[in-house]
Structure 1
């Protein structure tokens, strides 16, 4: 199945990336003697994986004039992402998150109120790199950061999709801690319904819009997107468009950490569409890219080599379902039908 796709060209990912501190080795924060410094940001994760796939991509944000901002900028640039339009704010700090692992999971503590990125606003849309973009990518995190950030995303999604100079993809990416006023369901539904491509987890949608929500329910709730991509955990992902519905099972793989896998999937799916691939091709590339995140402790893991990726993309549906990823590369000989 081949659905609508954005025109090939530069992607601009817009949103906050923070410095991140986590106990090393993992343990409750109160018991930690040492913290590891890394970077964390959904939109820059997508940008880095797009760059890995050879898609021209810029990350657009703001950072403080501080060492943490220097760390974030350098890390994103090192992945091949254009960061030349990221603004340095002399008056506001770079955002920070601290991970607090515990027996029931990891709690994330945010220190991003008043951050440089929280001052982003709709004026960004009048300048490069947005004016030359084929696709803008946002997540539901950005409109939760501040009124000006919400205005930014709202303006980017204003008007019918066909009238916009760029396509817009939107990952719902609900973070309950960022929506203490309870407005998330209405705001996220409104914004998502205006986007061209929407990514949402089925369990995430049920948490936001109602337990028991099914895929048909979700499509009725969000009729606007040209392509609605619903991720069902480790089971499958489904793309619903006006051309029909396409489901591709997830690859079986060991999981080191799930953080960043959704961003990786979105990047792979978008890269598949921008390459002119079918919906099945894009979903498969999304799953392949997600595995790269699942196999590392950070948000951004290395992709398999190009030959490996092409062999996986060429598998028959039956061989795709049987395939199980491991640390080792796949067999050098796949069934003739997979070539």
Structure 2
């Protein structure tokens, strides 16, 4: 591990603009609620959760040199998330994500992550051209990676020698971007964190359970796969076989960021030396606590 961090989080770092209503919503609904702006993005959500679990995460991403970007950097630092290795662009604006949530879950969302995609491989320079590593001295720590990167960049990470020794943990940003994780099935160099829908997209077949989906991903080439299925049992498939555990049933008050919390809790548990079953149980409990609203956003 580097002196200033325990884990790197690569991917989207942006402002989340979330509208939440306490009532059920349908298309075209106009209801009272609350609108908040918070640091977000998959990589940022994972980093914030890792910090809550006592780790020191550092970000690799693109953040604009605009007022929104400066404000975002200040918020990251206040939350215990390292920003020293971020790519700060002079001409790309800070990205944003906007979502509407009702009592019946996520209604709609739009991710404006064009700056991250435009920055491309420039966000990886600390790993590919120092100071964190390069092709001859690969980074040997843990990396949490999200699927908001382009397919070309994810494929580069899956094959680049600078990542050959890294403990890669990868999650898609959404079901619509699940197919971007295909390079990690082809090269088998990462632990995948997906939900049942995303697993079905990656394997191009339907599954009845998380256990079936996790096994299906390993059969397709994944080194290891963790699959969640909402409030139904989750599974972890890999060299240890298949572990399936139930979820704690709670009243759902929010959903955005739940998968990121699950992934962060699982990584933190394993970095602390917990065995697979205990790490999965810890992650499920953390996710249940998060969606119930028992901890702050």
**TM-score, structure 1 normalization:** 0.70
Distance 1:35 1:166, change over 3 A: same
C-alpha separation in 2, matches of 1:67 and 1:169: 32
Structure 1 residues not aligned, in runs of 5+: 1-5, 145-149, 304-339
**1:189 aligned residue (182, 197, 203):** 182
C-alpha separation in 2, matches of 1:13 and 1:204: 21
CA offsets 1:218-265 (integer angstroms, 9 cap, x no match): 534444433211112212221112122211211222210111111000
Alignment correspondent of 1:295: 292
C-alpha separation in 1, matches of 2:161 and 2:223: 11
Deviation at 1:134, TM superposition (A): 0.9
Alignment correspondent of 1:317: none
Alignment correspondent of 1:21: 17
SS at match of 1:155: helix
CA offsets 1:196-239 (integer angstroms, 9 cap, x no match): 31111113322454452354465344444332111122122211
Alignment correspondent of 1:206: 200
C-alpha separation in 1, matches of 2:159 and 2:96: 31
**2:223 aligned residue (219, 226, 229):** 226
Deviation at 1:30, TM superposition (A): 7.8
- Between structure 1 and structure 2, the one with the greater Rg is 1
C-alpha separation in 1, matches of 2:161 and 2:226: 20
Q: Going by fraction, where is strand more abundant, 1 or 2?
A: 2
SS at match of 1:225: coil
Q: Structure 1 residue 69 and structure 2 residue 69: aligned?
A: yes
Deviation at 1:123, TM superposition (A): 3.1
CA offsets 1:115-159 (integer angstroms, 9 cap, x no match): 256303143422344665511111222225xxxxx32x3232217
C-alpha separation in 1, matches of 2:101 and 2:235: 32
**TM-score, structure 2 normalization:** 0.79
CA RMSD, Structure 1 to Structure 2 (Å): 3.3
